[in-house]
Chain A
């Protein structure tokens, strides 16, 4: 508006100047040249102010031409047709020129806007490329906030928190932006009543879990669509930087885990070595003495138990490290059970029974972990059994259930969860030395494989542990 008024005044001044000039020089110039001179203010007004000042110049110019130059001078009457035509031509020139000028000016303004936008995007890009992605992301946020007002990131987890300082309408807008990848909230067509504008950081094709929240302008304006478009572009840059930052964070975390895992492995390996070397010597010497001496035979058993405990401690340490490597493959349950039974030396008076159907389907599991689980369950059963330990396998709907049973005192219902905790013992029943870790390792390894393990009562008394294994891909019950 302002600009139109200024240009209109300028046009009037220019018309006045031309009127004065032409009337002063009229004897020299002649009518035709004078009429042409009145085009100048029109062109000037059209290019500087557009259509309104141009029309002002046309009307003022036509009036002045008529009043000062055309006979009868100093009246506004029009006598001859050609004079009337000059007024119309002048008007047409004004219209066309101003349209052209307006279009040019619009294009220039657009080009300027685009240049500014791309300069801004380039500046943000180079800012984001510098330094670590996480720090660059903060710099990038500050860059956007400096130009477009207070800004921060809101992610899906924030939506559930109470302390975000956002109204429920804002939270709805944020959720919409996160789930649909649209620019949402203040200044947009979606939930426009919100106080903030939410701009996605990822292209609509793959919505991300985070959006940029942009406070509404402090002066109460509504942002132009073109500005929001620009913010969207900047947000895509921020999004790429954030992706890099999270990749970087993942890499660092992975390296940290690998390093600590390596250190732990080295530590455990040397610990195992340092314990087992003397145990080997002790056990080996006792083995030589055992045939002649019952005391040495007793000591040999103790040495072997010590080694088992050592093994259990090392395995528990592997579970704690959280880096238990699980290699799920297709296994023959017969293989697994046979290997576990081969390693069992039941105490005198206890017999091991196997009940296996002839054609068991293959199951899915980690062979080494499953072997440890079964070996520990068998060891546990052998230590508690009175006369027999039974290991069995059965197909139940789409699973193979392995069971290890003993005819010992059993596990009271109240203890059936606690029994898988470390160093838990049922009072008064633990007659012979377990490490207190065996069942905890069973649970830890089973959890790592995603295999449920439970304990209940064997029909006829005693404990019954069950492992429920999924069938291998392609196997059928």
Chain B
């Protein structure tokens, strides 16, 4: 059971979230605005945060940056603003995920589980990463898919490692580019697309119908 801080100025949404979260046994800590949210964070630690961007007292992205500056607790943005650049901005500010309203309860819970899992793993940088049938041995730079060794180039390995470490969360194009190619190449999405295609050819059952590496149009990639 986890404590989830839900920041939304709409009481009906908070009540709905409470019912949804209870299905996975989570406890909801409500906050109607940014001030209440920061106060709640000071009072007691929480395991994850669901944040609505349209708050009465402060811009949601600002609050996100403030939370990120103070702690590493995963934040999932839950917003009616569905524009791609809004999502990218939130993810680049350190949001673990982005869910648009109206949301599907099961999907929200799945994303929350992924975020909590990734946060758990973050503290223990083990030498072996796993995702589904994928196993990555980081020190030895080797990858196995369903027990079969797969030969990857250094760039392919680095991209896959970043995606596996994210544990199903979306990584924005610029985030992957920055980690793998460096800050100067944040905008060179085409590099990434070429490597993603190469990875799919090596890892997917049917590279034309990818199931493992999912594309979020205009935002980035995540592992299914």
Contacts and interface: CB of A to CB of B under 8 A. Distances in A.
A pairs with B:
yes
Interface string A335-374: 1101101100000000000101110101000011011000
A307 B196 contact: no
Given A329-B190, A330-B190, A332-B193, A371 B81 contact: no
Contacts of B129: none
A284 B105 CA distance: 7
A99 interface: no
Given A331-B193, A342-B214, A280 B209 contact: no
A367 B101 CA distance: 22
Nearest to B23: A288
A285 B208 contact: no
Contact of A273 (B12, B54, B208, B218): B54
B140 to A, nearest CB: 30
Contact of B214 (A269, A275, A339): A339
A303 B209 contact: no
A285 B217 contact: no
Contacts of B54: 273
B16 A280 contact: yes
Contacts of A303: 102
B217 A371 contact: yes
B43 to A, nearest CB: 27
A339 B216 contact: yes
A288 B80 CA distance: 20
Contact of A354 (B12, B84, B200, B209): B209
Interface residues of B, number: 33
A217 interface: no
Interface in B61-88: 80-84
Interface string B203-218: 0000111100011111
A279 interface: yes
Contacts of B83: 269
A86 B131 CA distance: 123
A288 B189 CA distance: 40
B16 A272 contact: no
A272 B105 contact: no
Given A332-B196, A339-B214, A272 B102 contact: no
A276 interface: yes
A338 B218 contact: no
B105 A334 contact: no
30 contacts: A269-B83, A272-B80, A276-B100, A277-B10, A277-B80, A280-B102, A281-B10, A281-B16, A283-B102, A284-B103, A284-B105, A285-B16, A287-B105, A330-B190, A332-B196, A335-B196, A335-B217, A338-B209, A338-B215, A339-B215, A339-B216, A339-B217, A354-B208, A357-B208, A358-B208, A360-B208, A367-B217, A368-B84, A368-B218, A371-B217
A35 B63 CA distance: 109
> Chain B's interface: helix, strand, loop or mixed, by majority?
mixed
A285 B104 CA distance: 11
A284 B20 contact: yes
B217 A281 contact: no
A196 to B, nearest CB: 54
B13 A280 contact: yes
Interface in A293-309: 303-304, 307
Given A284-B102, A330-B190, A332-B197, 9 more contacts: A272-B82, A273-B81, A276-B101, A277-B80, A280-B80, A284-B19, A331-B193, A334-B210, A362-B193
A307 B100 CA distance: 11
A367 B81 contact: no
A341 to B, nearest CB: 8
Interface string B84-116: 100000000000000011111100000000000
The 7 closest A-B pairs by CB, nearest first: A371-B217, A356-B208, A276-B80, A368-B218, A280-B102, A284-B16, A335-B215
Interface string A365-393: 00110110000000000000000000000
Contacts of B104: 287
B155 to A, nearest CB: 16
Interface in B1-41: 10, 12-13, 16, 19-20
B41 to A, nearest CB: 24
A150 interface: no
A385 B2 CA distance: 45
Contacts of B215: 335-336, 338-339
Which of B13, B82, B100, B208 counts the most A-chain CB atoms under 10 A from its CB? B208
Given A276-B102, A307-B102, A338 B190 contact: no
Nearest to B12: A281
A276 B12 CA distance: 12
Interface string A155-166: 000000000000
A335 B193 contact: yes
B207 A334 contact: yes
A424 to B, nearest CB: 26
A63 interface: no
A311 interface: yes
A277 B208 contact: no
A336 B193 CA distance: 11
